[in-house]
Amino acid sequence: MQFPSKLIEDAVNAFATLPGIGKKTALRLVMHLLQKDTENTQYFTDAVLKMRTEIQFCKTCHNVSDEALCSICTNTYRDKSVVCIVENFRDIIAIENTRHYNGLYHVLAGLISPMDGIGPDALNILSLEERLKNGEIKEVIMALNPTIDGDTTIFYLSKLMAPYPVKITSIARGIAFGGELEYVDEITLARSIQARLPYENYLSK
């Protein structure tokens, strides 16, 4: 693709590094910004830069946050006796959009994957244990993607939590094996949360 300007070419190449954005789409985005006034483009770039430099991770659940503790952990109306374990913050967004869950979360920031050399030490598991030790958590919901790595992680965590007096449940298998939560429609995900099963039942399916 030939460009009339090196500046446009650099901008297109920058947009094209984003997932799902090819050169043609990147060029459309660049042309869109060129047609806007300078203030609009400045707002766009400032927002992205501020997000990247000032974003934090909640000290309790590891969700993305503007402060040391996220808005979910500090919400006094949430049920602090229930914690939903997810792979990443995108899964939190998906579950929150269902409006059928009012507990807390714990973000693992990945899944155990022996094939990829990712073990338990690479995930936010130690902090999960610390949360279990205070005795406030009564139920842990496993809301991990129904894949081999997801099942491996659930099995590991269930063994880890065995000494603690917590009920372990899993979202219902309305979500297809191999699927990812962020792509599941809100109705199916809401029903999976509501129809969660004891982990022992989950193993027998």
CATH number at residue 10: 1.10.8.420
59: in domain: no
Is residue 16 packed enough to be buried (19+ CB in 10 Å), middle (13-18) or exposed (0-12)? Answer: middle
Indicate whether 47 and 92 sit together in one domain: no
Work out the pLDDT band at 173, boundaries 50, 70, 90.
low
The larger pLDDT score, comparing residue 47 to residue 182, is at 47
Residues pairing with 64 in the sheet = 57
CB 86 within 8 A of CB 107: yes
User: Which residues on neighbouring strands pair with residue 56, listed in sequence order?
Assistant: 65
Instruction: Quote the number of domains for the chain.
Output: 2
Q: What's the whole-number mean pLDDT along residues 115-142?
A: 93
Domain membership of residue 43 as a residue range: 6-54
Asked if pLDDT for residue 167 goes beyond 80, the answer is yes
Whether residue 205 has pLDDT greater than 70: no
> Does residue 118 fall inside a structural domain?
yes
Amino acid at the residue 194: Q
194: domain CATH number is 3.40.1360.10
Residues 138 and 95 in one domain: yes
Same domain, 86 and 28: no
d(CA 24, CA 194): 43
Q: For position 77, what pLDDT does the model report?
A: 95
| pTM of the complete model | 0.76
Confidence band of 199 (pLDDT split at 50, 70, 90) = low
